[in-house]
Structures are given as C-alpha cells and as structure tokens.
A and B are shown apart, each in its own frame.
Chain A
Amino acid sequence: MTLTSAEGQAQTRIALVDLVDRLLGSGVVLAGDLVISLAGVDLVQIRLHALIASVRAEMAEGRPR
C-alpha cells in the first residue's frame, strides 16, 4: 500500500480539485442576487470543463509528468 497523509501540517492546504469540488458542489447555497442562473449543474459543468481543458493544455505542451 502507499499512503499519503496531510496530517502533521498545522494548516493543511486543500488540493485545488478538492477545494473546487467542495466550493462548487456543496456549502451553503444562498440564492445571491446574481448567481441563480449559474447554480447547480451548469456550474459543475463549467468547472469540469475549465479544469480538464487546462490539464489537457498542460499535456499538450509536453510538460513532463
């Protein structure tokens, strides 16, 4: 097994993918004055599109893994 753990660090920084998952997928949903049309599925799709597009761009640049 391989085990990765973030414990031991006083302030554990969240990986961006985990943070964005949470900030767009959960948390309190207040119907703000402007974001209603962005709520829900649309927003998740936007997010995935953005992230995957950016990862693909990195791969296309031939960045070593």
Chain B
Amino acid sequence: MAERARYVYAVSAGLPPDALRGVAGIAGAPVELIGHRDLQALVSDVDLGEYGEAGLRRNLEDLGWLEETARAHDDVVRAATAAAPTAPLRLATIFLDDEGVRRCVEDLYGDLRAALQRVDGRREWSVKVVAKPRAQARASAAAPTGGADYLRRKKAESQARQSADAEALAAAERVSDAVTDGAVAVRRLPAQDPRLSGLEGEMLLNLAALVEQDAGDDLAARVHEIADAEAGVDVVVAGPWPPYSFATLETP
C-alpha cells in the first residue's frame, strides 16, 4: 500500500463538523478536521509518492495535475469559507501525520488567529485594468510624400501613443482609487502575462481587494461605472472569492 501523507487546505475557526459533508478533497478523498484549541485544520490523505518532495517537483510542472489539485483545493476552501472564517493555505502544504499538523497550528496559533480575524466576514475581489491594444499603423494608408512628411507622421504617431498611454494610466488610477475606497485592504499583484491571462494588451493593474461581504456588489458597480467612461482600457472584475491574498501570516 502506498505511503500516505496529510494535505492541509486551510485553517478555520468554529467550523461546524458537518460543513464539509459531501465536499471531496484531492482525488475524491474525504476532508477531515483536525481540531487544535479553537481552530480546525482541514486535511485529507494524499499519496506521498505524488505529494512528496520529488513527486511535487515533477507534478507541479504538469499543468493537468496542477489544475486538478488547485481546483480541489479551491473547492474545499470555498465550502469552508461559506461556513466559517477560513484562512486558506498555499498549495501543497504536506505533513507526515496529524501530530505534525497540530504542532504547526500550535506554533503559529497567534498568527493564525490574527489572519482569521482579518478575513472574517470578508471576501476577495479581483480588479484588473488592461490597456487596449492600439490600432496599428493607421497612418500608413497613404505613402508619405517625402522625408519631411514621414517625420511629421512619425511625430504625430508618437504623440498620439503617448497621450493614449497617459489616458490609460489615468483610467487605471481612477479604478485603483475606487477600489481602495470600497475595500478594507488592497494588494497590488504582479501583472499577468497575456499568454496566461488571455487578455490582450498590457495589464496596467492587477488588484486583489479584501471587501466586506455585503459591500462587494457595490464595489463592482462602482468600478463598472468608472470603466463605462473609459475608452482606452478594459476592466475585468471578478469575485467574490475566498480571501486567498489576505490570509498571509505576518511572520511566516
């Protein structure tokens, strides 16, 4: 029989024992709670061959595996978040046994409590601002009539480009201000590669906002309102999500 290890999804406070009934973990394994003081670690069994150090190195390069694991992790975290304050853990946090999990929760108890308090009753929203790809070479319709004409056109194109850039940045700034106004906390995440995000154009802003549960729709509406008035950017709002970006411990 394959060696087993404990995969920890999240730590919750006051999670009812039946909150995760019917929620499958990785590879369909049942999710169990390991209680320590007033906290619960959400765990399931995984194969140590797959989730041990060598296995993880190999498997994290496999997009299909990564997606399956990430989706299962997200399913568990979502179910828990709906039922109790929950601090999601990073992907693939593995312990050899329940004792290791308890020891870690004990060691980080104060930080976990602080993280749980920070995310209690709040959700994460994502707001991205992407500069629209510029219309290319509109000026090339007619061939330039000479050197001076060519330079004039080049200059005009360059000025138009600069003003479009400035407008897009100002739009991003307005969106950022609105998000900051409506959120408890905001984190600026690295811009995503267009090949990964599927969004064409340069990502000017990739914000994660921690928002009171009942304020999310208002925030989204306000951002929509601003986006409606901006021609040069695309704005993508998504949420509510579990507070992934805001459960970080102060002292990891």
For the complex, is A35 an interface residue (Cβ under 8 Å from B)? yes
A54 to chain B, nearest CB (A): 4
**B194-241 residues at the A interface, CB under 8 angstroms:** 195-198, 208, 216-217, 220, 224, 227-231, 233-241
Closest residue of chain A to B108, judged by CB? A30
For the complex, is B5 an interface residue (Cβ under 8 Å from A)? yes
Task: Count how many pairs of residues, one from A and one from B, have CB atoms less than 8 Å apart in the complex.
Answer: 174
A34 to chain B, nearest CB (A): 4
Q: How many residues of A contact B (CB 8 A)?
A: 45
Interface size, B (range) = 35 or more
List residues of chain A with CB within 8 A of the CB of B245.
22, 26
Interchain CB contact under 8 A, B61 and A49: yes
For the complex, is B57 an interface residue (Cβ under 8 Å from A)? yes
List residues of chain A with CB within 8 A of the CB of B187.
26
List residues of chain B with CB within 8 A of the CB of A20.
66, 70, 91
Once the chains are docked, how many angstroms separate the CA of A12 from the CA of B73? Answer: 15
Q: Is the interface of B mostly helix, strand, loop or mixed?
A: mixed
Interchain CB contact under 8 A, B70 and A23: yes
List residues of chain A with CB within 8 A of the CB of B112.
28
Interchain CB contact under 8 A, B60 and A30: no
CB pairs A–B below 8 angstroms (22 shown): A1-B231, A4-B234, A5-B220, A7-B220, A15-B197, A16-B67, A19-B74, A23-B88, A26-B247, A27-B87, A27-B91, A27-B247, A28-B248, A29-B90, A33-B95, A38-B56, A38-B57, A43-B60, A46-B57, A47-B60, A50-B66, A52-B196
